[in-house]
Amino acid sequence: MHIPWRNSVDVFAQILRRHGVDQDCVTDVEATWGAFAEFLQLDIDGLDPAPDSDADGFIVQWGRRSWSDNRLILTFTRQLAIADVGERDGPYPQPELWQLDLEMAFADAADLIGLDRLDVQDTGFTFAPTGPLRATALVDTWMETQQHAPVRAAWVATPASSGLSFECVC
At 23-35, the pLDDT tens digits run: 999 999 999 999 9
**Is pLDDT above 90 for 18?**
yes
Q: Cβ(56)–Cβ(126) under 8 Å?
A: no
Among candidates 73, 54, 67, 62, which has minimal Cα distance to 126?
54
**Is pLDDT above 90 for 66?**
no
Q: What is the pTM of this model?
A: 0.93
Lowest mean pLDDT: which of 20-24, 37-41, 114-118? 114-118
Measured between alpha carbons, how far is residue 64 from residues 19, 103, 116 in Å?
27, 12, 5
CA distance 73 to 94: 31
As beta bridge partners, residue 54 has none
